[in-house]
Amino acid sequence: MTLRTQPGQMLARGVCRHLTELGFVSIEEFVPCRGLRVDVMALGPKGELWVIECKSSRADFMSDSKWQGYLEWSDRFFWAVDADFPTELLPDETGLILADAWGAELIRSGHESRLAPARRKAMVQKFATHAARRLQALRDPEFIFSV
C-alpha cells in the first residue's frame, strides 16, 4: 500500500473522499500525457473530468509552473488547499476546494471548459486503464510484468 506522508497526499485523501460524496471516482497521480502528472483526476457519472492540484503551502503553489498545462485535459480545474492557505493567490477562474486529511468542501467550481468528445473518450479510456492496472498491482502483487 502506498504510504501517504506528504502534506499534499493527505489533502488528496480528503479530496478523494469528498469527490466520492459528489458521485465522482478519482485516482491520484494520473498522467494525462507525457510529462504531466496531476495530483487527482476525477471522473463524474456523466463522464465529467476534473483535475485537482493539491497545494500544502504558498511555496508549493509558487513553485508550480505547469498547472496551466493541465487545463486542456479536464472540464474543470481545482486547487485543493488547507484552511491556512492564502487563497487570494489563486486565480479567480480556477476552482477551489478546502481540504484536510479527512474530508473536503467544494468552495468554488471555477470556469468550465468542456473537453472535445474525442479527447474525453481517450481520457476515460486512460483513466480506466490506469485504475485497473493499479488495482491489479494491489490484488496480485506477486505478478511482475515485463515486456
- Which residues contact its own copies (rule: CB under 8 A)? 1-2, 13, 16-17, 20-21, 25-28, 43, 45, 47, 121, 124-125, 127-129, 131-136, 138-140, 143, 145, 147
Characterize the bridge pairing of strands 76-81 and 49-55.
Answer: parallel
H or E stretch at 9: helix 7-21
Nearer to its own copies, 6 or 125 (CB): 125
SS3 4: coil
In the complex, minimum distance from the CB of residue 89 to its own copies, in angstroms, rounded to a whole number? 29
Nearer to its own copies, 90 or 98 (CB): 98
Nearer to its own copies, 59 or 144 (CB): 144
In the complex, minimum distance from the CB of residue 5 to its own copies, in angstroms, rounded to a whole number? 14
Closest CA to 32 of 115, 128, 126, 125: 126
Cell 473536503 appears where?
104
In the complex, minimum distance from the CB of residue 4 to its own copies, in angstroms, rounded to a whole number? 8
Nearer to its own copies, 87 or 136 (CB): 136
In the complex, minimum distance from the CB of residue 117 to its own copies, in angstroms, rounded to a whole number? 10
Q: Which amino acid is at 6?
A: Q
Nearer to its own copies, 26 or 94 (CB): 26
For residues 98 and 103, what is the distance between their CA atoms, to the nearest angstrom? 9
For residues 41 and 120, what is the distance between their CA atoms, to the nearest angstrom? 13
Closest CA to 30 of 137, 126, 103: 126
In the complex, minimum distance from the CB of residue 96 to its own copies, in angstroms, rounded to a whole number? 22
